[in-house]
Amino acid sequence: MAAEIVWRLGRFSRRVAPATLGRLTLAVLVALVTLLLCLCLGKVWLTPAQVFGVLVEQPDGGLGFIVWQLRLPRALLAALVGGALAVSGLLLQGQVRNPLASPDLLGITSGASAGAVFYLAFLAEGLGPNGLPLAAMLGAGLAALLVYGLAWNHGASPLRLVLVGVGVSAMLAAATTFLLVFSPLTTTLSAYVWLTGSVYGASWPEVRALGLWWLALLLPLATLARHAVLAQLDDDLARGLGVRLQRQRAALLALAVALAGLAIAWGGAIAFVGLIAPHIARRLVPGGFAGQALLAALVGALLVMLADLLGRTLFLPLDLPAGIFAAALGAPFFLYLLIRQRP
C-alpha cells in the first residue's frame, strides 16, 4: 500500500492517499474536457483551436460573442450549480444516514420551488426578475426550518427528519401546483422551465454572484469537514465521544440547505444530481470527507454541464432544459439504489 502524502501548513495538516489524488486529478481533467466540449458544440461548431484562440485574444463580435457571452458563462454556471447540489447531497446523506437522501427528499427543493413560483406569480411584475434567486433561497431556508422544527423532539433524529421532510415536500409541491393553476399563462410557462431546471440565458453577473457565495461557504465547509464524519455515527456513540450532536447536525444541515438553495436559486429545480454525485464520490473515495466533497463537487459539475450540453445540442434548434437530461440520467440510478436497498 502506498504511503499517504501529508500536507502541513502551520497547525493545519491534511493526509491524502495517492489513489485519491489520482482520481481527483482524473475528475478535473474530465470536467475540463467537458467544459471544452460545451464551448465547442452548438448551433455553430468550433474547433478546440478556435476556442483557445478566442479565449486568449478575447475578440469582439462573432466567435468572441458566442464563446464569452453565450457558452462560457452558461457552462460555468452549470458547473457551480452541479457542484453545490452534489456537496449538499453528500452532507444530507451523511447527517440523515440514508443513501437515498437528497435536497429533493428533505423538502429543500420543494421549498425553493414554492418560493420561486410565488415570486413569479405575485411579485415579479413589480420587482423584476432579479429577485427570483432570493425568493428561492428564502423558500428553501423556510422549508428547512419547518422540517427541522417539526422533527424536533428533544433532538432531531435522522429518521424523523426524513419522514417529516417527505411530508413537507409533498405539502409544498401541492402549494406550488395550486399557485401555477391560478397564475397567468406567461407566469406558468416561465415557472415550468424553472421547475424543470435550466441554465439558459446565464450571464457573467450570475456566475460571479454564485461564485462569491461558493467562496463564502468554503470556510464553514472546511471548518465543519472533520465534524461531518463524526456526525454520521450512531447518536449514542457520538455523544459518548463528546460530540455536541444536535449543534453540529444543525450546522451541517444549515450548510447543506445553503448550498442547495443557492444552486436551485440560479439553476432551477434540477433533480437527482444531489443523489447521484455523492454515491459516485463515496465509491471512488471510500474514506475522508474532504476528498469525497471535492470529488462529489467535480462529479456534480460534470453531470450538469453534460446535461445542459445534451439539452442544447441534441434537438437543434430547440434548447431543452438541463433538468430533463439530469432526470433521465438520475432516474435509473435511483431505481438501482432502491433495488439494492431491498431486504
Distances (CA, A) of 132 to 184, 235, 259, 296: 17, 38, 16, 27
Per-state percent for the chain, helix, strand, coil, to nearest 5 = 75, 5, 20
Q: Specify if 146 maps to a domain.
A: yes
- Statement to judge: residues 195 and 281 lie in one domain: no
Least confident segment among 113-127, 131-145, 146-160, 297-311: 146-160
- Statement to judge: residues 235 and 277 lie in one domain: no
Q: Evaluate whether 239 touches 222 at the Cβ level (below 8 Å).
A: no
User: What pLDDT, on the 0 to 100 scale, is given for residue 58?
Assistant: 77
| Angle separating helix axes 289-313 and 204-230, nearest 10 degrees | 150
| The C-alpha cell that represents 121 in the structure block | 406569480
- Statement to judge: residues 161 and 226 lie in one domain: yes
Could you report the per-residue pLDDT of 29-57, keeping only the tens digit for each? 999 999 999 999 988 999 999 999 988 88
Domain count along the chain: 3
Other CB atoms within a 10 A radius of the CB of residue 225 amount to 16
**Residue that is last in its domain, among 252, 269, 286:** 269
For residue 197, is pLDDT > 70? yes
Residue 47 and residue 38: Cα distance in Å, rounded? Answer: 11
DSSP reduced 3-state for 15: strand
Q: Specify if 284 maps to a domain.
A: yes
Rounded to an integer, the average pLDDT of 73-83 is 95
Q: Specify if 97 maps to a domain.
A: no
Q: Specify if 30 maps to a domain.
A: no
Q: Specify if 72 maps to a domain.
A: no
> What is the domain-level CATH number for residue 242?
1.10.3470.10
User: What pLDDT, on the 0 to 100 scale, is given for residue 10?
Assistant: 63
Q: Specify if 324 maps to a domain.
A: no
Rounded to an integer, the average pLDDT of 52-71 is 86
Residue range of the domain that includes 190: 104-269
- Statement to judge: residues 285 and 261 lie in one domain: no
Instruction: Specify the residue for cell string 474530465.
Output: 30
| Of 187 and 65, the one with more pLDDT | 65
CA quadruple 274, 279, 285, 291: dihedral, nearest 10? 10
- Would you place residue 343 in the very low, low, confident or very high pLDDT band (cuts 50, 70, 90)? low
Q: Specify if 14 maps to a domain.
A: no
Q: Specify if 329 maps to a domain.
A: no
- Would you place residue 98 in the very low, low, confident or very high pLDDT band (cuts 50, 70, 90)? confident
User: What pLDDT, on the 0 to 100 scale, is given for residue 1?
Assistant: 44
- What rounded mean pLDDT belongs to the chain? 83
**Residue that is last in its domain, among 230, 246, 269:** 269
Instruction: Specify the residue for cell string 497547525.
Output: 11
Other CB atoms within a 10 A radius of the CB of residue 271 amount to 23
**Residue that is last in its domain, among 251, 269, 287:** 269
- Statement to judge: residues 145 and 262 lie in one domain: yes
Could you report the per-residue pLDDT of 224-260, keeping only the tens digit for each? 777 776 666 665 665 665 566 677 777 888 888 889 8
User: What pLDDT, on the 0 to 100 scale, is given for residue 341?
Assistant: 62
| Of 74 and 237, the one with more pLDDT | 74
